[in-house]
């Protein structure tokens, strides 16, 4: 796993509405967008084999009550609408979300020196 890019920022409520557009029909949508735009966030782009699955394991279940201890949501969250962290659920959604948060020219293109030791 490799963090390709991260940036701390305060996102506008309109930006969060774009980010969570797939949840627009959920009852917690408006509150979630307002909550996520109420303070700084750390946007990150990750890369690696099975990256979506691995990151979502670290995050825990969408409903914090269903999350395992040791996961971020399992240890630090109580409500779905206040679960403090978001992770893309598919590689396609991850690409869309990365494009929403970062410009292509902001990425540094390199091969980590440990790559041959980590991947076949």
Catalytic residues: 86
DSSP state of 111: -
> How far apart, in whole angstroms, are the C-alpha atoms of residue 62 and residue 66?
8
Q: Which residue has the tokens 């509150």?
A: 31
DSSP state of 108: -
Distance of CA 9 to the CA centre of its chain: 14
């Amino acid at each position: 796993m490799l963090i390709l890019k991260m940036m701390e920022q305060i996102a506008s409520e309109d930006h969060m509405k774009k980010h969570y557009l797939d949840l627009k029909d959920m009852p917690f949508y408006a509150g979630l967008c307002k909550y996520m735009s109420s303070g700084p966030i750390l946007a990150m782009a990750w890369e690696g084999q099975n990256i979506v699955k691995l990151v979502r394991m670290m995050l825990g279940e969408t409903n914090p009550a269903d999350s395992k201890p040791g996961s971020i949501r399992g240890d630090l969250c109580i409500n779905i609408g206040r679960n403090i962290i978001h992770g893309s659920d598919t590689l396609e959604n991850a690409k869309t979300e990365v494009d929403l948060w970062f410009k292509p020219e902001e990425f540094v293109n390199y091969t980590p020196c440990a790559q041959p030791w980590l991947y076949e």
